[in-house]
Amino acid sequence: MSHKDKIQAARLLQKFKQYLLLEKALSGNTIDSYVHDVERLFAYLEQQQIHPIEVNLDDLEHFLASLHDEQIQPRSQARMLSGIRAFYRYLVLDGYIEADPTLLLESPKIGMKLPEVLSVEEIDLLIAAIDLSKREGQRNRAIIETMYSCGLRVSEACNLKLSDLYLHEGFIKVEGKGSKQRLVPISERAIAEIMDYMTDRAEIDIKPGHEDYLFVSAHFKKKMSRITLFHIIKELAEQAGIKKTISPHTLRHSFATHLLEGGANLRVIQSMLGHEDIGTTEIYTHIDAHRLRSEIIEHHPRNKKRG
């Protein structure tokens, strides 16, 4: 591409970023991810001397083939395509191109990877591993119980505010993806853990701008970070002797799976999790079917090995 073309491509990318922020109201993490995906495509197109506006289906298929040659996994390729598809939809909407070249582009075939799920007993072991003699012990207990009780994403838990709590009514207000808000019931046990934590929280001299966040760091005196929560969950799993590879998101998966196993309607679970598309929620029916098959294989007399 010429220098003039590069400047135009950079402007398109900046306008795309503004569109994602102002019109689609996506989170900062999602916007950064989408922009990075498009920049990856731009780098390839520059090598091929192709302007982004002139891209066709063949060009995109060759781009995917180059990702495969770089041994980028199909799941990562599919995620990357999400940003690229969004970019070309934007170009059509703003009149830069007439037809979307990604419409007939097939996503890489990826097998369904079912997320790890903890049993209720394992959740209890995780919480029991928390050392309450440490100054952040009760906070950790409260946040894990709240995440499991309400099926929160890690960012939703870290961004939960005091003004979002309606504990007397048994609800919390959660701000999910795209700044969409939902009311989620919270268990009596989680409420009790939060109330116990409030005593410890009152002793922290919280920095200005962070006073309304529920879960704060006693050391940094500001809202708890996602990285800290990942570290806490990993450490507790090791102490509890849980061999599964888990993360804070495992608590959300466990919440949904236990609801389904208890007989909850899939639409109710969708509403609780804040999924826009019920297809996203349906993965939990696959988890349930997977567990059912495991139970049959283990216990049915025709499946038991002899001797």
Q: Which residues are catalytic?
A: 153, 177, 249, 252, 275, 284
Q: How do 171-175 and 181-185 pair as beta strands?
A: antiparallel
Q: Which of 116, 148, 135 is nearest to 252 (CA)?
A: 148
CA 152 from centre of chain: 9
Between vectors from CA 267 to CA 180 and to CA 285, what angle results, nearest 5°? 115
Q: State the burial class of residue 150 (Cβ atoms within 10 Å of its Cβ: 0-12, 13-18, 19+).
A: buried
CA atoms of 35 and 57, how far apart (whole Å): 20
Between vectors from CA 261 to CA 155 and to CA 164, what angle results, nearest 5°? 30
DSSP string, 176-225: -GGG-EEEEE--HHHHHHHHHHHHHHTTS-PPTT-TTBSSB-TTT-SBPP
- Inter-helix orientation angle 226-239/120-128, to 10°: 100
Torsion angle in degrees (nearest 10) through CA of 14, 17, 22, 25: 180
CA atoms of 56 and 60, how far apart (whole Å): 7
Which residues, 6 or more positions from 38, have their beta carbon under 8 angstroms from its beta carbon?
13, 16, 83, 84, 87
